Structure 1
C-alpha cells in the first residue's frame, strides 16, 4: 500500500471503481461514471485536485481516496468539506484513518489561508448506510450537526391537482429566464440553515450540470410584478436509475419567495412536477429535505405523498488554528 496525490484524468477509471464499490457496500444508491467524474473535476472552483485529493494505491487498484474543498456560509463560518471512500475489500486495515488524517492536515492548511474568517469547521455529509465512515468521524471528534431526510413518493399515480394561487402563472422556461430563476432561488434560501452565497462561477457551472433540465422545471411567475415567485427544478438521473433498476425522477430545488409563501404555491408546483415526471416515463419521485426546515417543508411533502426513507447526517468538528498553523 502506498499513498499519493491525484495524477490526473488517468486516475478516473480506478477512482470510479473504488467509489462505486464503496457505495454498493454501504447501500447508498449512489453510482458514478467516468464521464460524470471528469465533468465534475473540470468544474471545481474551491478544490484543486492535484493538491486536494489523496489516494491509497494498492498495485493497479485504488483502495480508497479522499477529497477536500472549502466554502463560506453567509454568517462567516468557513467550512472544509470532505468526500471519502474505501473499497470494501480494503476496509478495517487503517486505510480510512490514514486518508482522514491527511485530509484534516490538508484542511488545516486551507484554514490557514483563510485565517481572517471568524470561525472554521470540518464538515462531512454522511448518507444513511455509511456506518463505518460515521464511526471514524465520531472517533475523530466530529458530532452530528443536522439531519436531512431522503423522501420518496413510491408511485406517480393519483397525484393531487393543487391549483395555482391567484395572480401567479406557470410559464415554460426560456433561456432568458435562467438568471431570474437562479437569483430567485438564492433569495429564497438566504434564511435557511447553512446558506452559502453563490458566485458567478456557480451560475455557469449549474448550466452545464446534469441537473440542468429546464424542460422539466415548474416555475411560477407573479403576473403583475414580473418576478419568479416559486420553482421546482425537476430532473431525471438516468445513470442513477440504471444502476438502481428504478424509474425515479427528482422533485428538487424547491423554493418559494417570501412574499408568496403560505398560499399553496409549493403544493401546486410539486403536483405539476410529479405529473411531468410521469409523462417522462418515471414511476416514482424522490427529494431531500432538512429535517428542521422552518417553513414546514416536511409537512408539505408528506401531503404531496412523500415518505421519509433515509435519515442522513451532517457531521462537523471545530477547526481551531494555532499560531504555528
Structure 2
C-alpha cells in the first residue's frame, strides 16, 4: 500500500539523476492510458539537453515519493505565426499514485509558472495554456476541463495495418524523386516550412530548430521521398518517413511513421502526395516494417484525410488540443 499523499514532497528538477525515476513514472502513466508512448533514459537525456524554450530546473515540478517519482509536469513556451503566445505542458502521474490530488497539485503549480512566463512576455500579447491530450488520457482531459480548458482542435491517429497491396500512384509529369544529398537538406526543410505556413497552429521555425532537426530521431533521409520540379530545380513535395525503434520495442511492433507530408502550392491537386506516400510505404516495407501510422489535423484544409484514406490509412484514435486563455488581474 502506498503512503498517503502527505508523505510526498514537491520539488524542482534536480538534474540528470532524476531521469531514471522520471522515465519509470512516465512509462507507467503512458501504459495506464494506453498512449503507446514509451521513453528511455537516453531519449529524455537527449531531449532535455536540446531544449531552447524550457529551463528544466525552473520549468519542471516533481511529486517526489522518496524512492520513486509519483508524477511530474513540464512547461515550455512557443508562439504561433499570428502572435498568439502558447504555454505548453507535459504531465504524467503513475497509476498507483492517482486519485490522491497529485495531478491537481502539479497542475496548479504549472499554471502559476505559465502565468509568470506570460507576464514576462508582456500583457499586450495574447496568451493561452495549451495541452495535447491523447485519446486514452481520460483523467487528464477531465482535470483540464474542470480547470476551464476547452477542446480547440482534434487530431486523428491514422494507421495502415499492413504494407501489402500498396497502390501505385504515378508521379505527375515534370516531377522526379531524387535521392537526398546533404546539400539538399536546407531546401527540403524550407519547402516544408513554406507549405505549412497556412496550417492551423503554424509556428515559424528558426535556425536552431533546423540544427536540432539534423540530429533528431526523425532525421532518416534514406527513407524520405522528395520530389523535385525538373524544370525549376525546386522541391515540389515530400514525405519524410521514419522508424522509431524505441516505440517499436516498447509496443512489440514493426511500424514506420508516414509523416512530414507536404506539397508546395504550385504543385498541389495533381496527385503528388498520393504518389509520394505510396513510394514511402514501399520504402518502409523494404526496411522491414509491417505497418505504418501518421497523425493529422481532423480539420485539415487541404483534404489530407481523404488522401490518406486513398492510401489505405484508417482513423484509429482521436486526440485533442485543449486551450485556455491566460488572464491575470492588473493588481498582480
TM-score norm. by structure 2 comes to: 0.97
The answer to whether the 8 Å contact 1:78/1:117 transfers is no
1:16 deviation in Å?
Answer: 0.2
1:29 deviation in Å?
Answer: 0.2
RMSD value over aligned CA atoms? 0.7
Query: Structure 1 CA distance, aligned partners of 2:54 and 2:21?
Result: 20
Structure 2 spans left out of the alignment, 5+ residues: 1-7
Query: Structure 2 CA distance, aligned partners of 1:111 and 1:264?
Result: 43
Aligned to 1:81: 88
1:60 deviation in Å?
Answer: 1.6
Aligned to 1:103: 110
TM-score norm. by structure 1 comes to: 0.99
Question: For 1:113, what is the secondary structure of its paired residue?
Answer: helix
Question: For 2:121, what is the secondary structure of its paired residue?
Answer: coil
> 1:61 aligned to 68, 83, 88, which one?
68
Query: Structure 1 CA distance, aligned partners of 2:245 and 2:124?
Result: 40
1:198 deviation in Å?
Answer: 0.4
Question: For 2:319, what is the secondary structure of its paired residue?
Answer: strand
Query: Number of residues paired by the alignment?
Result: 325
Query: Structure 2 CA distance, aligned partners of 1:71 and 1:144?
Result: 19
Query: Structure 2 CA distance, aligned partners of 1:278 and 1:123?
Result: 36
Aligned to 2:29: 22
Q: Is 1:235 aligned to residue 242 of structure 2?
A: yes
> 2:273 aligned to 251, 263, 266, which one?
266
Query: CA offsets, 1:292-313, max 9 Å, x none?
Result: 0000000000000000000000
> 2:184 aligned to 146, 162, 177, which one?
177
The answer to whether the 8 Å contact 1:63/1:86 transfers is yes
Aligned to 1:255: 262
Query: Structure 2 CA distance, aligned partners of 1:89 and 1:255?
Result: 42
Question: For 1:166, what is the secondary structure of its paired residue?
Answer: coil
1:117 deviation in Å?
Answer: 5.1
1:116 deviation in Å?
Answer: 5.3
The answer to whether the 8 Å contact 1:76/1:117 transfers is no
Structure 1 runs (4+) deviating above 4 angstroms are none
Query: Structure 2 CA distance, aligned partners of 1:116 and 1:203?
Result: 30
